[in-house]
Every structure is written in structure tokens, then in C-alpha cells.
Amino acid sequence: MFPSIPKIIASTMLLLAGPATSMSLPTQQAADYSMGFIGCSMSENVAQGYAAIGAKRMWGPYGTGGLVVQSWTDSNSAAWQKFDQQAAKYGKPSAVWVQICIFANPGATYAEVKQLIANARSHSAPNATIYLTGQPQYDAGQYCFLAGQGGAELTDRLAQQAANDTTQNVLYPGTFILHTAEVQDGCHANTAGQQSLGKQAVAFWG
């Protein structure tokens, strides 16, 4: 749903009415569900935790399980059709989080990552802000069996590479972390892990 104008005005007034101490230029309040995302089950883990703690800028989970990089390189893929359904529901997003998710084989190349960025732009509102991250990183000695040993690190490096590349105009907000006690199957987050990831996402983009 689009937030109603009265709702936007109401939340603006709430901001204005806040105590003087919290008045130091509040970061621009983004409308509810104005931020999309692409990724896989790991992104759903983030979106689940994000919703569970009451955050609303970003969409909720929408069935992206298994959708690694190669599911998103073709701009007309089934994955992008799912994205477009969300965009039709909430409006084209003004920001998009691209999570680089891989299976150990074939992994991903930087060329593929650049294609994801181009596709994210073409499926979003003009000038949408694009955030890039890798999969969550684990405690020393742990790795996600789906991405393979060193796989999560590769995705994080690719995200940083894109942010360092001035031709791409994307932001790298930081590294998602999943500690051992927050992992349920060697890869995905358990309930505590989802909430931790949700809080990390709020710290990254509100």
C-alpha cells in the first residue's frame, strides 16, 4: 500500500514535535515500503528480522529463496517478475538493496554484479539509491555450505569492489555478521539471527 498523505504528514509532525535533543536534522524519513531488495534466502532472513523489529522502509520477504546472482542477471527473469510485482504493489522503489548471493559453483563474477546493478536501476524509480552487500560473514572457521568455503567473503569483496568503482554509483553500507549461535543450519539465520540481521539493516539504511 502507498502510505497516505495524512500519514506522511503525521509522521513528519511527530518528528517536528520530538524533544529538542533529537532535533539535530533528522535524516529524511523514507516512506514505508519505498525500498526494495534483491537476493536470496539470506536476504529473506534479513527482511524477516527487519519486519519483526517493526522496521518498515524496506519490503518484507517475497519469496526470493534460492535466487542467487544468476537468477537476476536477465532483466526479464522470473526473479525480476517477482520484484516487479512488489514494485506494482508499493510503487517503484526509491532505494534498492542488492545482496550478492552465490552458490559455490558457479560463484559470481564482477561482470555479473554490474549487470545486477544495471537491472536494479532499470526496475526502480529514477535515481534510486542502490546499496550493495555480500552475504553475511560468519565467525572464524565457519562458512555457509551453499556458498562454499570463502564464498561469503567473495560476495562481500564484490560488493566493496562495486562501491569503489565510481562508474557504478552504489553504496556499500557495511558487512552483515551472523555469529555461530545465530545460525540454524550452517548457513541461514535462526530467529535470533534474523533479528540481529534486521537490526544491522536498520543501522545501514533505516
Ligand X SMILES: *[C@@H]1O[C@H](CO)[C@@H](O)[C@H](O)[C@H]1NC(C)=O
The reply on whether position 157 binds ligand X by CB under 6 A is yes
Burial class (CB in 10 A: 0-12, 13-18, 19+), 77: middle
- Of 68 and 128, CB closest to ligand X: 128
| Residue that the C-alpha cell 545486477 belongs to | 116
The reply on whether position 161 binds ligand X by CB under 6 A is yes
The reply on whether position 92 binds ligand X by CB under 6 A is no
Q: Which of residues 114-133 bind ligand X (CB under 6 A)?
A: 126-127
**The binder of ligand X chosen from 12, 29, 85, 164 (CB under 6 A):** 164
CB count, 10 Å around CB of 102?
Answer: 24
Q: Judged by CB under 6 A, how many residues of this single chain contact ligand X?
A: 6
Contact yes or no for 108/64 (Cβ under 8 A): no
Identify which range of 20-28, 58-66, 153-161, 190-198 contacts ligand X by CB under 6 A: 153-161
* Cell numbers representing residue 72 in the block: 537476476
Identify which range of 55-63, 87-95, 156-164, 187-195 contacts ligand X by CB under 6 A: 156-164
The reply on whether position 199 binds ligand X by CB under 6 A is no
Least Cα distance to 43 among 1, 85, 102 occurs for: 102
Contact yes or no for 32/3 (Cβ under 8 A): yes
The reply on whether position 184 binds ligand X by CB under 6 A is no
Instruction: Identify residue 153 by its one-letter amino acid code.
Output: E
